[in-house]
Amino acid sequence: MTINDQLRADAAAHIEQHIDMHSIVYRQGREIAQTYVNMMKSYARLDVQSGNFTQRLDDMLVSGFCRIEERHFGTKLLQTTRKQNFWTTRWAVSYTLMPQNNDLYEAFMASMTEFCRAEQIHLGKLCALVRTKQDTLETKELPLELELPAYVEAIGFPYEITF
């Protein structure tokens, strides 16, 4: 066997291994997305059973917030920066969404969109669930800056299911 044949065989083995790795990551992303969709459906059923839904003219609406766990993706999703105002000496924290070059996160997002469309779940943008100074929860778009004692309790997607 010549060196060219050996190199071609090694390249083919590497390409096959690379494709297998991508399919494993894609499958993991789909499983994580399916878990979150099932979680949203369970929360929606609990909300409807307890009367937490909105009745409109010809249909009903249940809405909620699906928290995303960063540990599922093996990387941080938010970048946090603390800074102090020179004049007021108050501390503020800024949160920005980190750029994702993560194949698992991309597979998750693609699958999440697909599954939500199939289940007729309207999914909002990735945002932060903020605990305010008045101890209430609000959803705010990223990037955001908060003055302490307000803080980000979770990140995730707001969702609505019409039935």
Computed from CA positions of residues 47, 49, 52, 58, in that sequence, does the dihedral angle turn out positive or negative? positive
Lowest mean pLDDT among 11-20, 61-70, 119-128: 11-20
Average of pLDDT values for 46-50? 92
Q: What is the pLDDT of residue 93?
A: 85
Question: What value does the mean pLDDT take over residues 128-133?
Answer: 89
Q: Does the pLDDT at position 16 exceed 60?
A: yes
| Pairing mode, strands 127-131 and 121-123 | unpaired
Which pLDDT belongs to residue 21? 59
Q: In this model, does residue 1 exceed pLDDT 80?
A: no
Q: Is the pTM of this model over 0.85?
A: no
Where is mean pLDDT largest: 6-10, 25-29, 60-64? 60-64
β-sheet with 91-97: strand ranges across: 78-84, 91-97, 144-147
Sign of the Cα torsion 51, 54, 57, 60 reads negative
At residue 15 the predicted structure's pLDDT band, cuts being 50, 70 and 90, is low
Q: Is the pLDDT of residue 28 over 80?
A: yes
Q: What's the mean pLDDT in 18-36?
A: 81
19 pLDDT higher than 60: no
